[in-house]
């Protein structure tokens, strides 16, 4: 009975999408840090705050209650500092993913605009297409 419920799902072909290719418009293929930080959203700030707060609480609650309060306090602040470093990495990763087209980026398109490649001559276009195919074949190897 349960197999009948999911039998149609097996017959549905799933389109293959290469995860190495951006699924959204590319704003900047190699963005600098200042542009990545400009591409952060309030949601990223909330993620950062959640990571820092949860690390602080973990640093305070994980040590046994038999240790001194000073040790627990230092552990909590050390864990919060580690959480701040990790949270900053998450914020940068999300900003970079939006700029490189790996995450939804409608707001960033309105803010920065799309990257426009310079117009190339037809013979340059052919070599560019060859370079792209060569890069894809190297990446898939």
Count CA atoms within 13 Å of residue 124 on its CB side.
5
Strand spans (E) along the chain: none
* Cβ-proximal residues to 29 (8 Å cutoff; 6+ apart), any chain: 100, 115
In tens digits, the chain (141 residues) has pLDDT values of 555 556 655 666 777 777 788 889 999 889 999 999 999 999 999 999 999 999 999 999 998 888 999 999 999 999 999 999 999 999 999 999 999 999 999 999 988 887 655 555 444 444 566 666 666 665 555
Residue pointed to by tokens 């930080």:
37
What local confidence, expressed as pLDDT, does residue 135 receive? 62
Q: Which two tokens stand for residue 125?
A: 């276009």
Q: Whole-model pTM above 0.75?
A: no
* Domain range list for the chain: 33-114
Compute the distance between CA of residue 42 and CA of residue 40 in angstroms, rounded to an integer: 7
Residue pointed to by tokens 């037809």:
122
Length, in residues, of the chain: 141
What local confidence, expressed as pLDDT, does residue 121 receive? 46
What local confidence, expressed as pLDDT, does residue 19 receive? 78
What local confidence, expressed as pLDDT, does residue 18 receive? 78
């Amino acid at each position: 009975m349960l197999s009948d419920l999911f039998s149609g799902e097996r017959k549905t072909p799933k389109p293959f999408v290469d995860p190495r290719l951006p699924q959204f418009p590319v704003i900047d293929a190699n963005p600098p840090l200042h542009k990545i930080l400009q591409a952060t959203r309030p949601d990223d700030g909330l993620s950062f705050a959640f990571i820092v707060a949860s690390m602080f609480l973990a640093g305070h609650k994980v040590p046994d209650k038999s240790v001194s309060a000073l040790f627990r306090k230092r552990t909590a602040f050390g864990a919060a500092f580690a959480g701040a470093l990790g949270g900053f990495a998450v914020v940068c990763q999300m900003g970079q993913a939006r700029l490189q087209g790996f995450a939804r980026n409608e707001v960033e398109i309105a803010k920065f605009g799309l990257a426009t490649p310079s117009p190339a001559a037809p013979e340059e276009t052919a070599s560019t297409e060859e370079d792209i195919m060569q890069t894809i074949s190297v990446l898939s190897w």
